[in-house]
Structure 1
């Protein structure tokens, strides 16, 4: 009897692994296709100092990281407080990193564009 319950659990785990693998593969294929094609309207359209294509890459990468954490780190079986602490910490750190990169990158670009420092690299 216990053997049957274990076998059912293994089957659902295998199915879950393959479904997560399929989702991650599709998202990665979309990223690669967008990276190869680079649609003009996604490159020319800007949102918060960055092209929409870059924002799509950031969002898809965050989604893949969330899915990996949720599935393979077994966060779906943890308590609500632990899930929130792990997920929200990551969300805030990624948001802070994106903010810092955009702010500093734009500042450095404006300094070089304004001619205060020459482009010697």
Structure 2
């Protein structure tokens, strides 16, 4: 209880803290711009590996921004950031490796019976 007493001293009795609307609007605009760029690439480029790679890359950038802003990860210590980031990267690597190996196995089985 004593550790919370310094918060009441900063604001006058009954005063409401100032809203941080500038930060909210900045986050909103950044996410809108990233989403608009994603839509532009998704609908204006021909379907292919390059379009998919750009779209996935922008989606990952947006996901990291969302995690940093809304989960407040950008304000944490570097150790915690790395503890979240490294397993995520390894999980993505695992998924890519499983897709590649599964595709290879599927093609080899289908070619065996042809």
TM-score by length of 1: 0.67
Please give the root-mean-square deviation of Cα atoms over the aligned residues, in Å: 2.5
Give the Cα separation in 1 of the matches to 2:59 and 2:45: 17
The answer for unaligned runs of 5 or more in structure 1 is 44-50
The answer for unaligned runs of 5 or more in structure 2 is 1-8
The residue aligned with 1:46 is: none
Q: Which has the higher contact order (CA 8 A, sep 6+)?
A: 1
How many angstroms does 1:109 deviate by? 4.7
In structure 2, the CA distance between the partners of 1:110 and 1:83, relative to structure 1 (3 Å rule), is: same
Give the Cα separation in 2 of the matches to 1:28 and 1:106: 34
The residue aligned with 2:95 is: 97
The residue aligned with 2:85 is: 87
The residue aligned with 2:27 is: 20
Paired positions, count: 102
Instruction: Give the structure with higher Rg (CA).
Output: 2
The residue aligned with 2:42 is: 35
TM-score by length of 2: 0.71
Give the Cα separation in 2 of the matches to 1:95 and 1:20: 29
